Amino acid sequence: MIEKDVVITSRNGPIPAFAACPEGSGPYPGILFYMDAPGIREELRNLARRIAKHGYFCLLPDMYYRLGQLRFDMVRRADGMRPTMMAAMNSLTNALVTEDTAAWLGFLDAQDKVKPGPLGCVGHCMSGRYVTTAAARFANRFAASASLYGVGIVTDAEDSPHLLIDRIKGEMYYAFAEIDEHVPETVIPTLRTALDKAGTRYAIDTYKGSRHGFQFPERDVYETEAAEAAWAKIVAMWDRNLK
């Protein structure tokens, strides 16, 4: 496998990122990996490597780059870390991430090992909203997008991502935890209604017994069965739309 740290040029300054792809000449379909609230860490790099092993060029940008280099140690996390992490998460907006996504797509387009054409994306937690927004704002680019226990997808705000669903042209996959204090009960029905009304190709799964964060092995809420089932569905969606 080929992996490296890269710096992406943007109108707001340099954006650090991690890139991984299989060895060989390629080219490989591109996957944009939107991080979760704890930010860049080895846990996410390992997931990026896993995506690359399936035959993709995966780009994992540092979405907190405007704040400098923030690194949260989730293995040794403490209560005092939470306010800083929440402040970092709340510094992002749908508009800012949309602007950054244009730069990330430009980087992928410039890579010899990235296959021209449709791309995929995936996001956990806070990035469920950004995956949905990107799939709508860049409808001609994203052919397969996935959100895992995403938050902020349905809100009362004018820029709520679910209001953009009628613009989406690609396939969507939403995986939710059964027990998730961050996702109100009204979210999934509202999201499903919007997807059905728009005629979007999609699937929504709620994994029984799972909690928010079930994808990450280093957390006490990790659920092997749910995590593997969700990844299998995501990879299958990417394969049928991007390969």
Write the pLDDT tens digit of every residue in 25-43: 889 999 999 999 888 999 9
Residue where the block lists tokens 């995501």: 234
φ/ψ of residue 102, rounded to 5: -60, -40
- Mapped onto helix, strand or coil, the DSSP state of residue 179 is strand
**Domain residue extents for the chain:** 2-242
- Which range has the top average pLDDT, 62-76, 77-91, 131-145, 215-229? 131-145
| Class of domain 2-242 as given by CATH | alpha beta
What is the pTM assigned to this prediction?
A: 0.93
Whether residue 163 has pLDDT greater than 90: yes
pLDDT for res 77:
62
Does residue 71 or residue 156 have the better pLDDT? 156
End-to-end CA distance of the chain: 19
Return d(Cα 209, Cα 221) in angstroms, integer: 10
Among 133, 122, 123, 184, which Cα is nearest to 162's? 133
